[in-house]
Structure 1
């Protein structure tokens, strides 16, 4: 199908919204919402609703119904539109296909379904939710000693903790980490949606430091910007935050968005028994000692102490990436956002 499709939604957009508010898993309303977004030219939103709708159809045993065929047809058209946009956009940003780094080229082929990942004979592989970058070695916890800048960040632990404690004392400083998204389909995210067992104070919004927030923690901000090789991806990273895990609570197993970064924890308040598990390994936090890990591997955390645990979280580039790869990854997401 080369021409622009003309779907016929089964219900009005208002009716679809009403039904999804009542039941976020209403697959017929979800597909109708996708149809309306496609008609309006919002291909990204349409893709999101079609994709989740198809998953629900399979779960409900309805994959053989005509509506599933309709969804597959629409998704095929959208996939081709996106592939065209991606190649043209990357070329316009100075990265024509002939100049793609081999790992980058493989990753795009996998993303587009033109290639498959090599089999991974481990229980806990890299499994990012948004984008898999091919060819990076499997790492659970990175070795802190491999990062020359780590000591300079750790040296600021006391000052950073002082700023974080001031934020904790301010009314309304920390919000639930997992927040509702109003223009895309969203599940309950392992029961953490708007759950205040895990709260955070984020220094950035869509990868950009927010002046009103950084003014409240200037030492933290300067330390990260001047001493850590922050992962910088337009609209997505860096994502530095103070992360508070309530007493006796846990963060369920989950995967991060991309595997081109390591997540770093600088523990500030460790009140007692608690740990972070990444794949088959687990480590306990120690105040002032950095922990780095690949959050695209399944991970979870728990705080069994009687008081809250507080860490500074930030993301850095995987050190294996060449500069041109970082530039091409940045260009990729800029192109995606322009779709």
Structure 2
């Protein structure tokens, strides 16, 4: 696209936030290969927005507020002083809109030609590169949608999540307690069966076995398993794992249609709950406990009651005496232990 090549050299400063709860931060905005690239002042990429999915919340007003279609909580503000970048984005949005296929025979021909071109390109485009590109452009709202669809298949094994109304606020506080401040919100779900300890789904949906809550006297054990799972997810993105195990056609389908076939999710769910838990390197585990302000020893003894196999973790516990603050209050922990109605 000529217009895209014309604007790939301009940059602007703006204010960006990932969620409505986050503070706005100053960023550098540039136009990349079919994406709007948002970077921090050290030139580290924070987000990539697909240009066809960029929407404006306040047409004709300033500061101009843009967001990725489907996720209005993530915003980018550009002041009137950045008129060149605002104009470039608007011109590209208009150009893309004019080129959108319209229903009818022409649309079918264009889609078929596009699919054929992409398939031909696939001979030279490694599956790994396609997967990496898919992961970089899929917005959080789409990840959440995929995670929720996957959850419907997982529930055939786990049953309905535990949802005692009096315990849900405590569950939300536990989720906020273990995640890093810079991380997106975590949706914590307690299940009675099918999950040995924890399982992370795309969209930051984290399943935890009810036994980790019901069978221990302190919340530090459950918090430890959650911290370990969060560190495991940093090693391998849950969506990346799904796409890798589902084959390159899943990445292709996600890029071209924005969806994954229901049969693909069903097949993945059948293996997800039985997969052996991947170990987390000791240094990463300790960093997770240190950042969350949680003792590591209760988790270590839950893995091995004798402590022999987890001795390095026990000896390196960043808070051997007491954590800076309790994981949960006693009243919250008592309520949470009854979340499954037991």
Which range, TM-score by smaller chain? under 0.3
Larger Rg: 2
With the length of structure 2 as denominator, give the TM-score of the two structures: 0.27
More helix by share: 2
With the length of structure 1 as denominator, give the TM-score of the two structures: 0.27
Q: Which structure would you say has the larger RCO, counting Cα contacts within 8 Å and 6 or more residues apart?
A: 1
